[in-house]
Structure 1
Amino acid sequence: MPLESLPSFFTGVSDSSWSHFDLNIASGVAIFFGGQAAVSVFALRPLYGRIWHGWYNAPGCHAIVWALVRTLLQGSSSSYSERLALSLGLDGKEGPQYIASRSGTVMPHTRHLAYVLNKSNWEGKECKPVPVGQRNSPTPMQLIIVDFKKKVLTENDTLPPRSSRHSSLSMIASATSIAACAICASVEDWLSFKMILLGIISSGITSFIMSIGHITLERLKPAHGAPRGDGMLLSDSRIVILRGNEEDVNAVTKGKLRLELKGGGYTVLLCAFIALLQVTLQVVFMPFGSLPGQLMFLLSLLVSGVCNLYLSTNEDDVKSSALIALLNTPEVKTYQAHSRAAAATLASLALCWESSTPPRQVLRAIIPIRQRAWKAWSEFIVENIREKRTHYVWGENKSTKRLDEEESKLLHALIDDAHAAHDQYIKDHNIT
């Protein structure tokens, strides 16, 4: 179809046989779909930090209004920045159990950054999982060693978290909304034109405000003379080893995230008012638009809603990519242990090789060493680490003599796992 005939085509639509379709209700109701996705994407704005994100007519703004109003209505026992981070899901997730290997402290639950670390899909050459062991155990585990070589910055010195994942997706929604505006203008449906433009501007302003927001990390300072914070985050299928100063590890296990906006609570109120104005005017006036205008309005909502839904389904991936920047780029090494025994061996080496931490303490937190085969196996682990042996050694002792045939088979399988893990760790860390 020639470009010059495009306006006449849409002008003729309202007079065609399609005119019996009534989109008045649909154009009003559609605004209220996708509320949760809209809030999720709204919360990602400060993680992207791009002021051109969000300039499109999007559904679900009523949910953003409620999230912002809830932030303002909550008690004054905490700052608005803390409440805002909780309302938008930037903080508040419960992390896994943490066991400090040096102090013996056990935290049944940790805070949001520990949750992010435990759920993160680590990427990059250094983070590619190294397979350890040959046995196909029903309980494989991933072990990640995180070394804090640089100081984790907090408060006003917090590094700006940034992610580039899926960042170009907003351009599709923006282009669709602008094209919908142009088509409405071509058919001289100025009401629909204004309503779509209202959505673009209001969403753009609130997104701009959020994109220049500053996420800060608040942590508790340890007591003077506290030992290093080495320990492990322990979940069913993953162990995350944290090695560094107590203050840096505390940033992960106990740190609180804040979302600071210029203007403070008044800016939150302004964003809520703008979003509420958009929803109210679109609900009231959009049903009076022409059929082509309503179709364009619904098209802009559909494309924007799909983009929001896609970004919200990848929310954890985007957040982990950005929030890990808060930790000042720690060194990461990942292992894919084929068995829990191999993972326990790696954890013991990572936490006990260069410290006086008893390996048995680490092993007991991961595996059931009360059984005779496991107990005999743990004795070999403890001895090899205590003697700082670069080649794994095992033999007969009092514990092995008490084992029956089945337990001896299990012990040999466990020793093979430990041997593979020991050799791999020594090789990767250049220990001689």
Structure 2
Amino acid sequence: MPPVTIDTDNFSLDVGGFAGFFGGEEAVSAMETVHLYRARRWTGWFNSPGSYSVGKHYGRLANSRFWNGMFPGPNIEPTTYIGLDGKSGPMYVASQSGTFLKQTGHLAYLLMQRCKDQRAVIVEGRKTRANKVTILDMPDIKFDSDTENSLTIHARDGFHKHIALIPIATSVVTCVLCAWGDDWYCFSLILLGILVNGISCFVIGSASIVLQSGASSKNAPPGDGMLMDGNHVIVVRGKEKDVLAITQGKFHLEYQPWVRRRVRKERRTRSIIGDGIRDFHHLFGKKDAESGPGPETETQDLDDDAEANDEYAAIGFCSLLLVIQFLTQLLLIPQGKLFGQIMFLTSFAVSWAYNLFLSSMDGEYLQEVQLAQALNLSDDRMKTYKLGTRTAAAVFACLTLQPDCEHKDWGNRGFKPQEILRQFIPNDTHVWAVWREQVLEQMRSSKQVLQSLDLEACGNRIAAFNDVDKNLLNDLLSDARTAYQQYLVLQVRSSLIGSVSSSVKKEAW
């Protein structure tokens, strides 16, 4: 059998065909983390695969007539497009201000997901369908001094910047080895990939994340309320301005002026393609009744209330560079030597592994951590309780929302406990009506003895009840007692913590 030989002078891997497509999804997903980690935008100097996919994906952010023709598709705001906005949050019901939001935004969604993952305190009692109630005491949010309702989010520090040295070093070493092997085609292509990916990461990641909250009045009542998502409820307590940061706030990518240019959207007039007469009139400035106003008149008649449009030409330019990189690699890689092509593939493989590492990270979890750190939502301010029934959860949430005043002043505060209970259980049968009355009677009482939550306390209102209704009411009152007992424990614990903190302050003085 004759020996098998490989002519390395004429052999070519021809990797240009997949150079721009291989690892495209991983590269796009990795680019979405560029705002979530500190110094992430400075660590993109490596020959990354998937340049065509990344260029086509982020080219839609340019949002201008020129770039829309090159990268067609819907023009979505960068914050939503990258995944920092767009999620629908749970329903919000205020307990005093009367605010009702059927759907909140992205930040409320992140908060709900974080509370769902929190370890809960198990409340003993009857069990049917478990419900979780998280009590969140909002801190006093310190917004940026130059703005009233904005807060700059600082990116999270991580070990990714150390791991990024691996693909960066690999790309640089393979580039140098190609030059040492006198393969200037592969040398230039690896160098081109390093520069284009590094510039793209720097430009796309140059924005800072800003939390934009809703405007609130200084004389507004407390923003206490509930975020309700199925079997999980978050009781939010705090000032209106602090609660608005959750219920109406959102993330926003704030780009520098050299990346973002704000222009006014022009109202474009429709015309027929190929209408030479109109073009002829505009060319020579002829005006008559049929030709209509000239360009100067149209410019002057722009709507003063036209909507502003943000153009990101720098991102469009980076996307164009990524597409050019793909085309260049497609054409010139076959011209390189076998050694240079192997070096090119090596840089691609290591960069793809790093992109895979970045894309495997949970972006929503990183956003949850950033939100909690920015608003100082520590575990001490968030306590989750798991109650065995929805009835107990309704009473417990209602008790934690009652204002610190006499029940006679509830109306002046706008507090309606019966409406809070109905948000949980809208049933209007006689049994549920009696149960609600007994719960409200106990809440109005200043005594800690739970006399109103006994079946005997219902009196003549249950005289017409059969045994089934009485047993049901007894179970519901038992759930209310469970919730009330847990609330009393919570009050005692809060008073102890308050007394300890006050004594510590006195000792410090």
Task: Give me the TM-score of the superposition, normalised by structure 1.
Answer: 0.80
Aligned twin of 1:323: 371
Whether the 8 Å contact between 1:45 and 1:53 is mirrored in structure 2 is no
Aligned twin of 2:283: none
- Tell me whether 1:100 sits opposite 2:94 in the alignment: yes
Whether the 8 Å contact between 1:192 and 1:294 is mirrored in structure 2 is yes
- Tell me whether 1:27 sits opposite 2:8 in the alignment: no
Structure 1 stretches of at least 4 aligned residues deviating more than 6 Å after TM superposition:
none
Residue 45 of structure 1: how far off its partner (Å): 2.6
After superposition, the C-alpha distances for 1:296-324 in whole angstroms (9 at most, x for unaligned) are: 1441343133123302xx11111111123
- Tell me whether 1:359 sits opposite 2:349 in the alignment: no
Aligned twin of 1:426: 488
Whether the 8 Å contact between 1:161 and 1:323 is mirrored in structure 2 is no
Aligned twin of 1:153: 143
Residue 382 of structure 1: how far off its partner (Å): 1.8
Aligned length: 403
Counterparts in 2 of 1:153 and 1:66: CA distance versus 1, 3 Å: farther
Aligned twin of 2:230: 236
Mean CA deviation greater in 48-57 or 236-245? 48-57
How far apart are the structure 1 equivalents of 2:348 and 2:391? 56
Residue 106 of structure 1: how far off its partner (Å): 1.5
Counterparts in 2 of 1:202 and 1:121: CA distance versus 1, 3 Å: farther
Aligned twin of 2:467: 405
Provide the alpha-carbon RMSD of the alignment: 3.4
What does 1:237-256 align with in structure 2 at a 5 Å threshold? 237-256=231-250
The amino acid of 2:91's aligned partner reads Q
The amino acid of 1:142's aligned partner reads K
Counterparts in 2 of 1:170 and 1:337: CA distance versus 1, 3 Å: farther
Mean CA deviation greater in 339-348 or 276-285? 276-285
Counterparts in 2 of 1:412 and 1:38: CA distance versus 1, 3 Å: farther
The amino acid of 1:420's aligned partner reads T
The amino acid of 1:359's aligned partner reads P
Aligned twin of 2:382: 332
Aligned twin of 1:385: 443
Residue 22 of structure 1: how far off its partner (Å): 4.7
Residue 347 of structure 1: how far off its partner (Å): 1.1
After superposition, the C-alpha distances for 1:261-289 in whole angstroms (9 at most, x for unaligned) are: 22341594223323431342234225334
How far apart are the structure 1 equivalents of 2:253 and 2:352? 30
Residue 333 of structure 1: how far off its partner (Å): 1.8
Whether the 8 Å contact between 2:209 and 2:253 is mirrored in structure 1 is yes
- Tell me whether 1:15 sits opposite 2:8 in the alignment: yes
The amino acid of 2:231's aligned partner reads S
Larger radius of gyration: 2
Aligned twin of 1:302: 352
Residue 294 of structure 1: how far off its partner (Å): 4.2
Counterparts in 2 of 1:208 and 1:401: CA distance versus 1, 3 Å: farther
For structure 1, which runs of at least 5 residues remain unmatched after alignment?
1-11, 76-81
For structure 2, which runs of at least 5 residues remain unmatched after alignment?
66-75, 262-310, 496-509
Residue 374 of structure 1: how far off its partner (Å): 3.3
How far apart are the structure 2 equivalents of 1:363 and 1:391? 21
After superposition, the C-alpha distances for 1:371-429 in whole angstroms (9 at most, x for unaligned) are: 34433333332222222444544122144444433333333333333323222232223
- Tell me whether 1:44 sits opposite 2:33 in the alignment: yes
The amino acid of 1:15's aligned partner reads T
Counterparts in 2 of 1:195 and 1:354: CA distance versus 1, 3 Å: farther
Whether the 8 Å contact between 2:62 and 2:314 is mirrored in structure 1 is no
What does 1:53-92 align with in structure 2 at a 5 Å threshold? 53-62=43-52, 64-66=54-56, 68-73=58-63, 83-92=77-86
How far apart are the structure 2 equivalents of 1:152 and 1:402? 58
Residue 175 of structure 1: how far off its partner (Å): 0.6
1:265 to 254, 260, 263: 260
Whether the 8 Å contact between 1:363 and 1:369 is mirrored in structure 2 is no
Instruction: Describe the SS at the equivalent of 2:33.
Output: helix
Counterparts in 2 of 1:390 and 1:222: CA distance versus 1, 3 Å: same
- Tell me whether 1:162 sits opposite 2:155 in the alignment: yes
Instruction: Describe the SS at the equivalent of 1:216.
Output: strand
The amino acid of 1:249's aligned partner reads V
What does 1:125-274 align with in structure 2 at a 5 Å threshold? 128-137=119-128, 139-153=129-143, 156=147, 158-164=151-157, 167-169=158-160, 171-172=162-163, 174-183=165-174, 185-186=176-177, 188=181, 189-209=183-203, 211=205, 213-223=207-217, 225-263=219-257, 264-265=259-260, 268-274=312-318
How far apart are the structure 2 equivalents of 1:74 and 1:92? 22
Instruction: Describe the SS at the equivalent of 1:27.
Output: coil
Mean CA deviation greater in 315-324 or 146-155? 146-155
How far apart are the structure 2 equivalents of 1:252 and 1:232? 11
How far apart are the structure 1 equivalents of 2:194 and 2:448? 63
Instruction: Describe the SS at the equivalent of 2:18.
Output: helix
Task: Give me the TM-score of the superposition, normalised by structure 2.
Answer: 0.69
How far apart are the structure 2 equivalents of 1:129 and 1:74? 50
Counterparts in 2 of 1:93 and 1:39: CA distance versus 1, 3 Å: farther
Identity across aligned pairs (percent)?
Answer: 27
